[in-house]
Each structure stands twice: as structure tokens, then as C-alpha cells.
Amino acid sequence: MASRYLATPAHRDLLGLIVTAVLFAFASARFELSERLLVVTQPHERYQLDEVPLVLLFVAVALAWYAWRRMREARAEIARRREVEARLRAALAENRALAVVAVELMEEERRSLARELHDELGQHLNAMKIDAVSIRDRLHGLPPEPARIAAALDRMQAAVRGIVRRLRPPGLDELGLCAAIEDCVEGWRQRLPGVAFEIDVRGDVSCLPEAANITLYRLVQEALTNVARHARAALVEITLDRGNGEVRLTVRDDGMGMAHAASPGGMGLVGMRERVEALAGRFEIATCERGFGFVATIPCAQTA
């Protein structure tokens, strides 16, 4: 019980003050300090020096009262600040929850739109292509219009497939995050044969929820887009690591550095940071001697 009472600095200071006062009282009685002070001040009675101890006592009491008032005000201010901080934390938690819901709704809309493009528009384009090819074959290549129509439909189908891929990562729902990232990187390997892409996955990242999966994928997608447009890099390293209660994505390149950090029309660093912080994560710029990189960390508690 006594050790718990002395647990705070205020209690220890109070105990020290009491012990010091008791010791001073014993010293005053032992050396008769009042009598000695009276002997010193007696010849100077006209200056009322004998009233100095009472004045000092009053000053001490007044200072104690002043300190007590200031302490009450400080405690009240601390209580107000804690209340404001609690409200701020609640508001931040609510904003993060709303951001997660917004991301989920946006991705659901993207998924629906991609499905409609693939199922509806894709089927109609395919039917039109079959008709054009059939007409071309029956006319033995003459006139050339059916062949041109078939070629135009091929280009339209390719464009639709590209739009669908950008709207919804292929394989993310069925095969998981790693397969989707591999597919995204493979597409950039074909478009950028002079750039080497290295992917390193550590830990189990197969059970992350939708918000975390799509956030990590979009970060990789944006990073590779920036590399292709601006970085002039020869090597891009992607590391996905889950451990110690968090999942961490690291993307580095050996390109031009901060010059390509924010691409016009893209997510940019601000958008990437907002996506990560919406999941209570951290987004940090990785320091590189050459090139550019970032580290995005999302707590596993938000992704379990």
C-alpha cells in the first residue's frame, strides 16, 4: 500500500517536504534559531525586522495558494485537451472508416463496370467480328470493307480488354494479390523489355481483405506507371512482406529519383499516402542513393 502511495512524483515530493519540515523543526529546537534570530534583530527594532518571519510565512502561504490555483487550472486545461484529443481520435477513426467504405464502394463500382464491359460490350463486339469475318470469307476478300471492319473490331476488343484490366485487376478475386501483381508486372515486362522487374514475396499475404488487396495493388500499379512514364529506370524491385503484425510493400527503382514522384493525372504521392493512411497505415519515402522508392505499411489488425 505504501509503495503504491509513493508511486507518483507528487507523493514523493510531499513526503520529502514533510520529512524536511520535521528535520528543520528539530534543528530549530536544537540550535534555538528563534532566540538567535531575536538577538540579531533586537538592536534594530526600529526597522521592524522581527516581523520578517511572519512576512515570509505569509509569502510562503500565498505562494502555496497561487501554486494550488495554477495547478487546478493546469489540470482543467489538461482535461480539456484530453477531451479534444479523444474527439479528434474518434473523428479520425470515423474518417478512416468512411475512407475504407469509399474505397470499397469505388472498387465495387469498378468491378461492376468491368463486368458489364466484359460481358455485354465484349460479347457484342465478338458477335460483330464473327459476322464481319463470315462476310469476308464468303466474298473471298472482296470488297475490302469487311476485312477493315474485322481489324477495327480487333482493335476495339483490345481497347476494351485494356480498360477492363485498368478497372479491375484480373485474377485478384480468384487468384489473390500475388497473382494480380505478377500479372501487372508481366504486362509491363512486355511493354518495357529493357527494364528488369524483381518481385519478392515474404510471408502469407493470401488472406488480406478487399480494401488492403486493392490498395496494395493500386500502389504497385501507380508506381510502375510512373516508372514507365518518367523514371528511365533499368531495375524495379517490388517486395511484399507480411510479419510482425503488419504487411509492408516496398517499391524501388534506379531511375531519375524524385523527378517522377508525382505523375500528372495519376494518384501521385498524396493519393498513395491517403489510401494507406485510410487503413491506419504509414506511407514513407524510401531514401535511395539513386532512383526513387517508397514503403507502405498496413497493420495486420486492419487486414485480418
CATH number, domain of 276, equals 3.30.565.10
Task: Output Rg (C-alpha) for the chain, integer angstroms.
Answer: 37
Residue 153 lies in a domain: no
Domain boundary among 97, 125, 143: 97
The chain-wide mean pLDDT, for the chain, equals: 79
Pair (177, 304) in one structural domain: yes
Q: Residues 192-246: pLDDT tens digits?
A: 888 899 999 888 887 887 778 888 988 998 888 888 887 678 889 999 998 888 8
Q: Residues 64-114: pLDDT tens digits?
A: 888 889 989 999 999 999 999 999 999 888 887 887 787 778 777 877 787
Domain boundary among 64, 80, 97: 97
The pLDDT value recorded for residue 301 is 59
d(CA 301, CA 93): 14
Residue 127 lies in a domain: no
Q: Which domain holds residue 93?
A: 2-97
Confidence bin at 264 (pLDDT 50/70/90): very low
The CA-CA-CA angle for residues 213, 219, 225, to 5°, reads: 135
Residue 84 lies in a domain: yes
Other C-beta atoms lying within 10 Å of the C-beta of residue 243: 11
Domain boundary among 47, 73, 97: 97
Query: What burial letters (b/e) apply to 121-151, b meaning 16+ CB within 10 Å?
Result: ebeebeebbeebeeebeeeeeeeeebbebbe
> Structural domain tally of the chain?
2
